[in-house]
């Protein structure tokens, strides 16, 4: 299928949503270079609209199809991330326990860093036990996403 991309402006930079008729394949963070296409596949259009609502403070959950290519562990981690409610944070250790690998908190961090669907799969809601932790989009974007959800960090 042909990939299409839509641009979504946020208060802290431009996100680009990519996908085809089967679902999303990736969301580019503000620091990543990607350009929009002229026409958008249905799932791309839907995800872009939902992200705009999220950035406007009018949406807490997403309903989009994801076209996931990943290891079983990554899929388990990303599925666990999607259970973390809007406006709450949990630790890498909490996610490691949730996927049945309590000592794999570093591996959880690596899976977080490879998450191709930031915001929709809310890896920004995962923090280190001793502080904010990392974020592929940069700590300023992570803090901004958390602040948008009412979480101070």
pLDDT, tens only, 21-57: 999 999 999 999 888 888 888 999 999 999 999 999 9
On the question of pLDDT at 1 being above 80, the answer is no
pLDDT of residue 78: 97
> 153: pLDDT confidence band, cut at 50, 70 and 90?
confident
Collapsing DSSP states into helix, strand and coil, what is residue 139?
Answer: helix
The confidence score (pLDDT) of residue 98 equals 97
| CATH architecture group of domain 4-55 | 2-Layer Sandwich (3.30)
- Residue 37: predicted pLDDT: 86
DSSP code per residue over 86-101: TT--EEHHHHHHHTT-
Would you state the pLDDT for residue 40?
Answer: 86
Three-state DSSP class for residue 147: helix
Q: Is 87 left (phi over 0), alpha (psi -120 to 50) or beta?
A: left
What are the backbone dihedrals phi and psi of residue 121, each rounded to the nearest 5 degrees, phi first? Answer: -100, 100
Identify the active-site residue in 123, 126, 141, 146.
123
Sequence ranges of the domains in the chain: 4-55, 72-148
For 67, how many CA atoms within 13 A lie in the half-sphere containing its CB? 17
- 32: which 2 tokens? 């990543």
125 pLDDT more than 80: yes
Would you say domain 72-148 falls under CATH 1.10.490.10?
no
Residue 18 has pLDDT above 80, yes or no: yes
Q: 56-115: per-residue pLDDT in tens?
A: 999 999 999 999 889 999 999 999 999 999 999 999 999 999 999 999 999 999 999 999
123 noted as active-site residue: yes
């Amino acid at each position: 299928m042909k990939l299409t991309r839509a641009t979504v402006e946020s208060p802290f930079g431009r996100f680009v949503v990519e996908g085809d008729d089967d679902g999303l394949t990736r969301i580019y963070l503000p620091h990543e270079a990607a350009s929009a296409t002229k026409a958008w596949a249905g799932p791309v259009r839907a995800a872009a609209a939902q992200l705009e609502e999220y950035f406007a403070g009018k949406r807490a959950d997403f309903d989009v199809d994801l076209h996931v290519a990943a290891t079983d562990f990554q899929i388990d981690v990303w599925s666990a991330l999607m259970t973390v409610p809007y406006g709450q944070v949990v630790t890498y250790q909490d996610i490691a326990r949730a996927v049945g690998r309590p000592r794999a908190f570093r591996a959880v961090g690596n899976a977080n860093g490879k998450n191709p669907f930031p915001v929709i799969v809310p890896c920004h809601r995962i923090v280190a036990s001793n502080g904010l932790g990392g974020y592929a989009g940069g700590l300023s974007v992570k803090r901004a996403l958390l602040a948008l959800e009412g979480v101070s960090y």
